[in-house]
Amino acid sequence: MDSRRVIVALDFDDRRAAEALVARLGGACGFYKVGLELLTAAGPDLVRGLVDQGHEVFLDLKLFEIPNSVAGAVRAAGALGASMVTVHSMGGTGIMTAAVDAAREFPGLRVLALTVVTSMTGSDLADIGIGAGTDEQVLRLARLAAEAGCDGVVGSPREAGPLRKLLGPDRLIVTPGVTLAGVTPAGGEVGGHARSGTPWAAFAAGASHVVVGRSVTRAADPVAALRRIGAGRPR
């Protein structure tokens, strides 16, 4: 398996911890996710540094703003050398189209539409006035994302199969919320994902990439945990 289909989430609150993990993983990982927490704590130089080392960066910004602001943020992500950036599909076609248009200046940048965050359940959607269940809402938003020209979507491992059927063979399907069977992160934390699954099941269902966090970053041996995914071995 191409090691760059496995994206390691640098979910840290300081640059030193993130860089220590990157150094420890070495050549075992070529793709990292940087989210709002680390970007706010460490600044954009961290992203530049990862790109300069030859890594790809998934800049998970979940952009949800007026179209002009979204376009500006996408251009900033492209200037940093990011390979992927996320926009929130619940913002509608306008912001997704603005993101896609802005990304055209950067041939290596792919725009992904976040469907329903993996921490949400049907009751959470009901709280904000959405009567559809998570499965239905994910597919509805993915259809909008495709119509807006997004390069792919972000959804949970449980939705990878229906998303692949809907979107066809070419669009990216990136699945966070993956866990490794038999691996408990240090401290026993399993993360805040309500709709999770294993990376192997996600790939089998049609995911193009998986995002793995604590199961690797807080494992006793992060390199071994990451290599298990790449080797396709649940145990």
Q: Which residues are catalytic?
A: 62
Burial class (CB in 10 A: 0-12, 13-18, 19+), 100: buried
Helix (H) or strand (E) holding 9, with range, is: strand 6-9
* Strand-pair partners of 88: 114
Cβ atoms of 149 and 97 closer than 8 Å: yes
Buried b (16+ CB within 10 A) or exposed e, 26-51: eebbbbbbbbeebbeebeeebbebbb
Cα dihedral 166, 168, 170, 172, rounded to 10, equals 20
